Structure 1
Amino acid sequence: MIEMDAAAFERLVVDELDRLPDDMVEGLDNVVFVVEDRPEDGSLDLFGLYDGLALTERGRYGLGELPDRIIVYREPHLHACEDEDELRDEIHTTLVHEIAHFYGIDDERLHELGWA
């Protein structure tokens, strides 16, 4: 387990987000990234969550819609990782996984691709 305050963890999330390919992040329309300590149920086994409506499920979408959210949970990441390199890898995987949900890619396909 790693000890890291919320501000340092958030900086790592931003760094990993900046490292993602442009074509992956340029299509993110009306999406915000949020760091929270834990999921609502307090568990340590969920690293992230896409809270929104996937592109493949949207009909008429646009003006006035609240932004979708991609939530990265700090404490589960810290609990699961032994060092900062492992933490960065896990944050990267979480971001790709949740962004994939925005694009309509489900968990089964993510498992096939090695991102789940």
Structure 2
Amino acid sequence: MDGQEAMGIAPSADAIEAHARDVIARLPAEFRAHLGDVVLLVEEEADAETLAALELEHPLDLTGLYHGQPIGEKSAFDSGALPDRIHLYRQAILAEWCETGVRLDALVAHVTIHEIGHHFGLSDDDMHALEEAVADDAC
């Protein structure tokens, strides 16, 4: 996936996952070191339970979601919990791609980094700075 696919050619979940993993590989080492146990999932769309919990009505309203506890809030007493997960929702990403005209690779990177930012408890400004650092590394 080179990010410049023609509209109408929908990349597979595997292609989106490959791009998201490439984004993760370009993160600064201090971030990558803390992502080893985080599970990355690309699903077609968010399920009804997830949408209800977030008070969203339509699955195309959610491009990604972080399930877990931010690193700064973790405790040694958290054993037995499910692993932290980053969900990317393919249909919502594709819909946003078509609606906005943003390059698909940039959109997948944005959603991936945003969800990673929740894992680290980053502010929106910090997420944008991390996104810029990864984009600069891609050049």
- TM-score range (shorter-chain normalised) is 0.7 to 0.9
Distance 1:75 1:64 in 2: 32
What is the CA–CA distance in structure 1 between the aligned matches of 2:77 and 2:27, rounded to whole Å? 26
5 Å-filtered alignment, 1:32-111, equals: 32-40=39-47, 41=51, 42-61=58-77, 63-82=79-98, 86-105=103-122, 109-110=123-124
Aligned length: 111
What secondary structure is seen at the aligned counterpart in 2 of 1:44?
helix
Given that 1:16 and 1:88 are in contact with CA atoms closer than 8 Å, whether structure 2 keeps it comes out as: no
Matched, 1:20 2:27: yes
Q: Report the Cα distance in structure 2 between the residues aligned to 1:93 and 1:69, rounded to whole angstroms.
A: 17
Identity across the alignment (%): 33
How far apart are 1:64 and its partner, in Å? 3.5
Point out where structure 2 has 5 or more consecutive residues left out of the alignment: 1-6, 52-57, 129-139
Corresponding residue SS for 2:61: coil
> Structure 1 stretches of 5 or more lacking a match?
none
Partners of 1:98 and 1:85 in 2: CA distance: 18
When normalised by structure 1's length, the TM-score is 0.77
CA-atom RMSD in angstroms: 2.6
